[in-house]
């Protein structure tokens, strides 16, 4: 899974309202992340995908969720004050919430899932808004350096796009001029993933990021 997609599946601040004394599974400086927070995050992610009730997670799944939760918080901490107050995210979050409701078979099922999570819609809106902020931080900080070189676009067209196209379509292959923008975006996303992975690896020690296992 691409790192960018991995990071933006969901964002959950500790909003469940439950104060449960349980095992610390990760930390960022003095801020602890508990097993119950990770389990709640997993359930919230499934809710946002319309998968309810969620299947019971195994340990490897919770490990991935824990890592994503830590990385999301590191990135969101990079948001500038202006970005944090940007009202455009609220509008986008409201639109996404409308789409989320349609993932459930009925309004009753949707409300039942909300109740099971002990959440209100305004809290879901906050989660969706923070998702958008994470994406914007990534765009602002890493997109400028992620533009692919022209030779990389040509190489991808010849070595990847053309053979993949011919496996599923009849000739002729679309000319490069028709698919250049699409290829540029694929390569830019790949470059963003690499830049972001490097940043997270370098940032971890300075922020005293630790994982203690689930």
- pLDDT tens-digit profile of 110-138? 999 999 999 999 999 999 999 999 999 99
CATH superfamily, domain at 3-144+203-211:
Porin chaperone SurA, peptide-binding domain (1.10.4030.10)
pLDDT in the model for residue 9: 61
Domain ranges of the chain: 3-144+203-211
CA distance 153 to 158: 9
Ordered alpha helix ranges (H), the chain: 3-7, 35-48, 59-76, 81-84, 88-101, 107-117, 121-142, 150-156, 162-168, 176-206
pLDDT in tens, 20-71: 458 999 999 999 999 999 999 999 999 999 999 999 999 999 999 999 999 9
The answer to pTM > 0.75 is yes
Ramachandran class of 137: left when φ > 0, alpha when ψ lies in -120 to 50, beta otherwise: alpha
pLDDT at 174 (0 to 100)? 97
Q: How far is CA 193 from CA 61, 145, 160, 163, 187, in A?
A: 21, 12, 19, 24, 10
């Amino acid at each position: 899974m691409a790192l960018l997609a991995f990071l933006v599946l969901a964002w959950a601040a500790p909003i469940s309202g439950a104060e449960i004394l349980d095992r610390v599974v990760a930390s960022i400086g003095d801020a602890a992340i508990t097993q119950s927070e990770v389990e709640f995050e997993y359930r919230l992610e499934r809710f946002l995908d319309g998968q309810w009730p969620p299947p019971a997670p195994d340990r490897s799944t919770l490990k991935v969720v824990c890592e994503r939760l830590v990385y999301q918080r590191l990135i969101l901490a990079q948001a500038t004050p202006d970005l944090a107050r940007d009202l455009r995210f609220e509008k986008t979050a409201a639109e996404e919430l409308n789409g989320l409701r349609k993932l459930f078979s009925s309004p009753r099922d949707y409300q039942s899932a909300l109740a099971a999570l002990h959440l209100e819609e305004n809290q879901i809106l906050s989660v969706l808004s923070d998702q958008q902020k994470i994406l914007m931080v990534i765009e602002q900080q890493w997109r400028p350096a992620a533009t692919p070189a022209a030779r990389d676009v040509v190489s991808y067209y010849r070595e990847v796009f053309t053979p993949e196209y011919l496996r599923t379509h009849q000739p002729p292959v679309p000319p490069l001029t028709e698919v250049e923008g699409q290829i540029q975006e694929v390569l830019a996303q790949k470059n963003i993933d690499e830049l972001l992975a490097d940043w997270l690896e370098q940032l971890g020690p300075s922020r005293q990021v630790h994982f203690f296992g689930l």
